[in-house]
Amino acid sequence: MIARRFVPLLATFSLLVVMFIIGGFQFEGFASFQVVTNLLTDNAFLLVVALGMTLVILSGGIDLSVGAVVALSGVLCAVLISEYQWPPLLVFPLVLVIGTLFGTLMGSLIYFYKLQPFIVTLAGMFFARGLATTISEESVGIEHPLYYAVADSGIALPGNAWLPSYAIIVLAVLAGLFLLTHYSRFGGYVYAIGGNSQSAALMGVPIARSTIGIYAMSSFLAAFAGILYTFYTFSGYALTGIGMELDAIAAVVIGGTLLTGGSGYILGTLLGVMLMGIIHTYIIFEGSLNSWWARIAIGLLLFVFIALQKVLNRSSQRG
């Protein structure tokens, strides 16, 4: 049983290693520490969103609003800092609180009114995207000393690699979510709800508080990803994150988390994001392929991993 649960995780890790080796043999500089750090740096905001999505999918739900929340938080940061001259250290907590309250509202609607997460978060996606566009239709640049200071700070690594400070923060978030999911009571509640919510309720799991907390955490992390994205682009734009919710779901599934909930790993999501990133990197190094080939490859991977999940579920039921 334990071996079956780890099969998708091992498959993702194996594919990641194989892609890295193939790229290293084909292209000079591909198998370098700098490429690894670039994978983390360029996908830092997606990783944060995917970590929140992992909690939601583990519980048997879905959150389609995360990409729009990323855009909304980015626009709020840019407008408040650049146009209203608010200090960033005041703006960031405000944006995080707004994101958390947004997720709390969606979680409350899902639990208390027994609404489908797909419909509630779809409505949340339209609302957040529309609100971001209402605040500003144009891209708003950010010029602030704090942003320049963060951009210039980081850790120099061997091979001329550079790990910026915001990527270090993402690694800290990853470690925190790993401990929360796998070594806390709340993490146990998430798995129990995803496995069987009725049985979880009979065992004394606080379904209401846990469900609301899961969606609040997802939106909090999406808002945090929006803040990170402003450090990456030095701007906020209402069209940011279109399709990011689908990329996050893909990373979670490729990382070995069951779409039906109850089984999956935070580290698997990290591997899923890195695998998607290395596919994009391979196409960039190759040079002659259209960037849409990355989407095709990721789509094929999704089909393979969903089929693998189906096979493992059937074999576990027979066993």
Note the pLDDT tens digit of each residue in 53-108.
999 999 999 999 999 999 999 999 999 999 999 999 999 999 999 999 999 999 99
Number of folded domains that form the chain: 1
Q: Which residues contact 64 (CB under 8 A, 6 or more apart)?
A: 118, 121, 122, 124, 125, 245
Is 0.85 surpassed by the pTM of this model? yes
Where the chain has pLDDT below 50, the residues are: 1-2
| Owning domain of residue 135 | 2-318
Beta bridge partners, 183, equal none
> What pLDDT, on a 0 to 100 scale, did the predictor assign at position 308?
80
CATH number for position 13 = 1.10.3470
Residue 1, pLDDT score:
45
pLDDT at 131: 97
105-143 pLDDT, tens digit each: 999 999 999 999 999 999 999 999 999 999 999 999 999
pLDDT of residue 288: 75
CA–CA dist 12, 274 (Å, integer):
10
- The Cα 224–Cα 141 span in angstroms is 18
